[in-house]
Chain A
Amino acid sequence: AQKVTQAQTEISVVEKEDVTLDCVYETRDTTYYLFWYKQPPSGELVFLIRRNSFDEQNEISGRYSWNFQKSTSSFNFTITASQVVDSAVYFCALVGNAGNMLTFGGGTRLMVKP
């Protein structure tokens, strides 16, 4: 069985602060894929990133960066210089090699105050 844990249920920051959202996962598969999705207040799910288990390079996209550490089974997401528009629920997710079951964490609600 696979599992994704997002221990932070809610985070509140002031605009321009950096914030890191934690994601820890469990899987028996040697090949797997990790995702982050954003759910803004409007409710849709927005794809942010996919990372496969063989690629441990960190990735940066504008103010967003992701730190994948296989040794600690973590795939953390950092927003630099947060903005009010970053306020949303963020989900980390995992799919194993079979590709049929995408398991989500419980989500982290990020509130960025002006």
Chain B
Amino acid sequence: EAQVTQNPRYLITVTGKKLTVTCSQNMNHEYMSWYRQDPGLGLRQIYYSMNVEVTDKGDVPEGYKVSRKEKRNFPLILESPSPNQTSLYFCASRRTGGTGELFFGEGSRLTVL
């Protein structure tokens, strides 16, 4: 089954404790991206990757890091989480060479105390 898998789905952590949200897709998609969803703001793009070893900032990259060492994985790293990073996070992927449908993961709800 074609899917984008995120882990963890739910996490409560404390300020400053580094965490990583993993994202993996099994569709051989070149393009992957991370979004955060906040009430009234919709989804805002954090980082995206057009292919392996190619990443770029989205609209709200501050406080986040990403890496794309393999095509299937695109982890989101919060080196020193702060309460304003409490949010619902979505990973997504699609083929490059088109602007077709983005396939989204199920979301990761992160709370930073």
Q: Are A and B interaction partners?
A: yes
Choose the segment among A11-19, A55-63, A76-84, A103-111 that binds chain B (4+ C-beta atoms closer than 8 Å): A103-111
In the complex, the answer to whether A91 meets B100 with C-beta atoms within 8 Å is no
Say yes or no: B58 contacts A45, CB within 8 Å. Answer: no
Q: Please indicate which of the listed interface residues A45, A97, A105, A106 has the most CB atoms of chain B within 10 Å of its own CB.
A: A45
CB pair A102 B102 closer than 8 Å = yes
* Most interface-central of A33, A101, A102, A107 (chain B CB within 10 A): A102
Docked complex Cα distance between A18 and B35 (Å)? 31
Query: Whose C-beta in chain A lies nearest to the C-beta of B58?
Result: A101
Closest Cβ–Cβ distance, residue B59 to chain A (whole Å):
8
State whether the Cβ of B84 lies closer than 8 Å to any Cβ in chain A.
no
Q: A43 an interface residue at 8 Å Cβ cutoff?
A: yes
Q: Report yes or no: A102 in contact with B45, Cβ–Cβ below 8 A.
A: yes
Q: A98's closest neighbor in chain B, by CB? A: B99
Contacts of A104 in B (CB 8 A): 35, 42-44
Complex interface residues of chain B between 11 and 35 (CB less than 8 A to chain A):
31, 33, 35
Q: How large is the interface on A (under 10, 10 to 19, 20 to 34, 35 or more residues)?
A: 20 to 34
By beta carbon, the residue of chain B nearest A94 is B99
With beta carbons under 8 angstroms apart, the residue of A43, A47, A52 that contacts B102 is A47
Provide 28 A-B residue pairs closer than 8 Å at the C-beta atoms, listed in order of the A residue: A6-B42, A33-B99, A43-B88, A43-B107, A44-B106, A45-B90, A45-B104, A47-B103, A50-B101, A91-B43, A95-B99, A97-B99, A99-B31, A99-B99, A100-B48, A100-B50, A100-B56, A101-B45, A101-B58, A101-B59, A102-B102, A103-B45, A103-B59, A104-B35, A104-B42, A104-B43, A107-B40, A107-B42
